[in-house]
Amino acid sequence: MDALTRECAIYLRGAAMSADATSKRRNAKPKLTPHNLRAISVTAGVDPRTVLRYLAGVAGTSTSDARIASALRAAGRDDLVRGVAA
């Protein structure tokens, strides 16, 4: 299992992706359920793994990143859109 796949699996389980062992939260709720992940990917017209990469902070193509951001906003998940000031 490569590092990105492992980080994506951790993300879906809801654990913190921090390298600091003391900050890991084992029982944290996931940010997106698998169903919501698929819904976002269908709305954006991309593979679910592309959405996971976006959420993990990996740079993708500008087109796919824009589609994913738009789909997240449409789903009411502005908190997951990159580059937005809180």
Model pLDDT for residues 23-34, shown as the tens digit of each residue: 445 544 457 899
Query: Locate tokens 């600091």: which residue?
Result: 20
Chain centroid, CA 66 distance in Å: 14
**Domain ranges for the chain:** 3-80
Contacts of residue 66, Cβ cutoff 8 Å, sequence gap at least 6:
none
Q: What is the mean pLDDT of each run of 10 residues along the chain (86 residues)?
A: 64 51 48 91 95 91 94 92 69
> Cα–Cα distance between 84 and 76 in angstroms, integer?
14
Q: What's the pLDDT score for residue 9? A: 64
Q: What's the pLDDT score for residue 48? A: 94
